[in-house]
Structures are given as structure tokens and as C-alpha cells.
Amino acid sequence: MQVNTVYQPEILIQNNKTFSDVNNEVSVHTERFPTFKWWFCFLAATSAFLLGATLASIMFRDGLGVLGLNQPNGWGVFIVNFVFWIGIGHAGTLISAILFLFRQKWRTAINRSAEAMTIFAVMTALIFPVIHTGRPWYAIFWLIPYPNQRGLWVNFRSPLLWDVFAVGTYFTISLIFWYIGMIPDLASIRDRAKNGIRKFIYTVLSLGWRGSNKHWSHYEIAYMILAGLSTPLVLSVHSVVSFDFAVANLPGWHTTIFPPYFVAGAIFSGFAMVVTLLIIAREMFNLQSYITINHLEKMNKIIMATGMMVGYAYACEFFIAWYSGNPFEAYAFVNRAFGPYWWAYWTMASCNVLIPQIFWFKKARTSIPVMFVVALFVNIGMWFERFVITVTSLHRDFVPSSWAYYVPTWYDWGITFGSFGWFLMWFLLFCRFLPVIAMAEIKAIMPTEEIRKEVHTNGSK
């Protein structure tokens, strides 16, 4: 018996879209006046940012004493926010670079938003080391490693300086990678523009793109090189950030599991933030045919997998603390779970380990309300993870007379809230003026008209 099999490619774009549909439905959001939904979200994000900026200005005037910092808690939510936002940026590079190198075609509908999220997350993270100096207009002069006549140099043995180079390199490569990938799409918007000013702006941004074979050849080579450069950054950047803690002698910090643990946690939190933003974007701009349930389900599987890695790291920390026989190390971890900050630890464990287990069920993985709520809880849990690592390791040191309970003030919380407004403000501007979906890459994976007709004909027999 002979069985005729027909090649049926995975349907990544729904509703049988054509190339013209892709151009029209993605570009239209950059051409028309923003909707009420966009304005509401943008004004809310801008208000949050202005609140944080106002509180930061008051802090500059009155000093760091308005924060909840004390002895021995010299690090507060600012370093927590720095590590949190750097972690958020990792999903963009993973989706764009690593999945591109592994030829995962499902990345094409979500990579542009993820790359933009990376840029804005790093921009948000870099705010906190600056404002934590208290007087940045004085401090920056002494912090930047530049040649000078006085022979004054920063401490190159400090992991905080390693952050400067690692994060700076990561931001530069990610920005170039994001921009290079947009050039064909910017040219498409340029060709559709009717307003003279819009046409001029997009003409400059598209760098003379004409879509010739030579242009496409150079584009693909450059994209491949940048993907190769970006891939090791996923592992290196958050490993370097983890060295801020791991190279210290403080119990609870000096642990060798931190580099892989931080990388897994960064991917975990980054994917959760991408899911959160994509759900909002697909509803706000009617992109359900491009950002499909299939895309979101695959991302939810990664969230579940990396969540179990993070849960393993939590358990491994307790085991190593016990196995080491070091009483100070053992105390640090027992104090995390059962000390004064028990509420923060169990919030972290519940949000990061227990709640994502619901994704074992396909019905939950494919439910928009469920995945949105889970992604929010993961973001909350990963923020508390950084809080637990920082604060619970500091608040009880070797001298009980200096023990103190760190309580963030309204300045801490307000500036943290403002950072979310800053991040969302830039992401909404990106959605308004630049293509949210990588149109050129979407067209490359869409089945041709001949394949669609063949599949339809054979399927109807």
C-alpha cells in the first residue's frame, strides 16, 4: 500500500497572511495616530517615571539618608534593581542570537520586541549605579576609567568595574544587533511614507537599503557575525554581575554556583517579561495572527524549564552550606528562610518555583490570562530573589551589636516604581515609531503561494 505524504510546514503565522498583509498590518501602527489604549499606557508610564525622577531629585538634594540604608545594610534596593534589570535584558539576546544560530524559526515574530526590551532594560539598569552614588555629577568623574594626567585609575580588581566593561559591551553589541535587524523593515516603512518629514527620517535610518542581492548578502553576513558575538554575552554578562557577590567573603555570597545560577535566573525573568510585554502588544496592536498562542506556549515551556533550574539552585545552596561544615554559612541560609526576612524568601520560592509548575498542563500554557498572571508572579519572585541575596546576607553580620533590619523607605519604592515607568515609556515609544514585528524575517518563513495551494489541494482530497 502506497501512502502519499505531503510536506506541511509548521504554521507559525495564522489566518493565511500574504506578504502584503504583513507590510500593512505591522507598518500601520507607525503611520496612524495612536489609540486611546496606547495613550493611557504611555501617560501612566510617564507619570510613574516622573514620580521616580522627583524622588531621586529630592534624594540628590538631601542625601542618601532619605533611603533605608543602615549599618550593616550598605546595599539596598538600588543594587537589587540593577541586577534585576540586567537579568531582564537577557531574554532578548537569547531569542535573537542563540535561537537564530539554532535555526529556530518560531523566534521571528517575537525577536524584535525582545531585542528592544534588552536595550531598554539595560538603559534602566544603568540608572541605579549612577544615582546610588548620591552625587553623580561629582562621582562619575572619578568612576570612568579614562586616561588622565593625574595617574588616578579605578580599581581594576573590583568586580564593580568588571560590570562597567561587561554591561557596556553587552549594550553596544545588542544595540547594533537590534538596529541592523531593523534596516530592511525601516526601508519598507520608508517606501510607504507619504509625509515628507517621515520619509526623510526613515530614509536616513534605513541607510540607503534597496533590497539588492548585494545588500541582502552583506546584511546576512553582518547579522550572523553579530549573533555569534552576542551569544557568549548571554553567559558572560550575568556571570560577571554575579561576581559582585561571589568574590566577596560574606557568608551567603561567596558561592561558586552563582554564575550559572544567575544566568538561569536571568533567562527565567527575561522570558517572563517578554511574555508580559508580548501579551500587551498583541492585544493593543491586534497582532494575534503573528504573536500566536504557539509562540507564547514555547516561551512558557522555557519559563518552566529555567524555573526548575532556579529551584535546583535554591536547594543546592542549602545543601552546600550544610555540607561545608561552616557554621556561618549554614546560619546565613537558615536565617534567609526562617529569620526576620522569611516573608521575602518564601515569596521568592513560591513565585519562582511553585507557581510556574502550572505550565506542566497544556491548558494553562495556552491560556492568555494564566500565562500573564504567572509571568507577573515570576517577575515579582525574581525581584525578591535579588532582594533576598542582597539584604538577608548583610543585615546580620559577625557582630550582633550592629544587626539592623533594613526597611526600604518611600524613596526606595518610589524610585523603583519610576524605573518601571522609564522602561515601559521607552517600550511604548518603540511600539509607536518602529516595527514591532520583524517583517523581513516573517516573510522568509511564510510558506509560498505554491506550497499553500498544494497543502490545501491535498488536504481537501
pLDDT in tens, 236-278: 888 999 998 999 888 989 888 999 999 999 989 999 999 999 9
**DSSP character string of 6-55:** -------S-TT--HHHHHHHHHHHHHSPPPHHHHHHHHHHHHHHHHHHHH
Per-residue cell: 238: 550575568
Q: What is the pLDDT of residue 5?
A: 46
pLDDT number for residue 23: 82
Please state whether the peptide bond connecting residue 72 to the residue before it is cis, i.e. omega within 30 degrees of 0.
yes
Helices 159-192 and 196-205, axial angle in degrees (round to 10) = 130
CA gap 204, 207 in Å, rounded: 6
Take residue 401 and report the three cell numbers written for it.
Answer: 551589636
Long-range contacts, 377-381 (Cβ 8 Å, 24+): 377/351, 378/268, 378/269, 378/272, 378/303, 378/307, 378/351, 378/352, 379/269, 379/272, 379/273, 379/276, 380/347, 380/351, 381/347, 381/348, 381/349, 381/350, 381/351, 381/352, 381/355
* CB neighbourhood size of 316 (10 A): 14
Burial 6-20 (b: 16+ CB within 10 A, else e): eeeeeebbeeebeee
C-alpha to C-alpha distance for 131 and 55, rounded to whole angstroms: 11
CB of 99 closer than 8 Å to CB of 92? no
Please, which residues have CB within 8 angstroms of residue 237's CB and are 6 or more apart in sequence?
Answer: 86, 90, 166, 167, 169, 170
Q: How many residues are given for the chain?
A: 461
Contact 245, 389 (CB under 8 A): yes
Q: Is 417 exposed, middle or buried (0-12, 13-18, 19+ CB in 10 A)?
A: middle
pLDDT tens across 160-195, in order? 888 888 888 999 999 999 999 999 999 999 988 888
* Burial status of residue 217 (CB atoms within 10 A of its CB: 0-12, 13-18, 19 or more): exposed
Look up residue 458 and give its three cell numbers: 491535498
Provide the CA 322 distance to its chain's centre, in angstroms: 34
Residue by residue, pLDDT tens for the chain (461 residues) are 444 444 445 667 777 777 888 888 888 888 888 888 889 999 999 999 999 999 999 999 998 899 999 888 888 899 999 999 998 988 788 788 888 888 888 888 888 888 999 999 999 999 998 888 888 887 777 777 777 777 777 788 888 888 888 888 999 999 999 999 999 999 999 988 888 888 999 999 999 899 899 999 999 999 999 999 888 888 888 899 999 899 988 898 988 899 999 999 998 999 999 999 999 888 888 888 888 899 899 999 999 999 999 999 999 999 999 998 889 999 999 999 999 999 999 999 999 999 999 999 999 999 999 999 999 999 999 999 999 999 999 998 888 888 999 999 999 999 999 999 999 999 999 988 999 888 888 888 776 555 555 544 555 44
Q: How far is the C-alpha of 48 from the C-alpha of 134, rounded, in Å?
A: 21
45 in Cβ contact with 425 (< 8 Å) = yes
Helix (H, G, I), strand (E, B) or coil at 358: helix
pLDDT of residue 33: 81
* Distance in angstroms (rounded) separating the CA atoms of residues 155 and 153: 7
Give the per-residue pLDDT at 15.
73
> Which is nearest to 281 in space by CA: 439, 418, 422, 109?
109
Q: What is the model's pLDDT at position 7? A: 42
User: Is 403 in a helix, a strand, or coil?
Assistant: coil
Q: Where would I find the H helices in 193-212?
A: 196-205
CA distances from 425 to 52, 272, 357, 377 (A): 13, 19, 32, 22
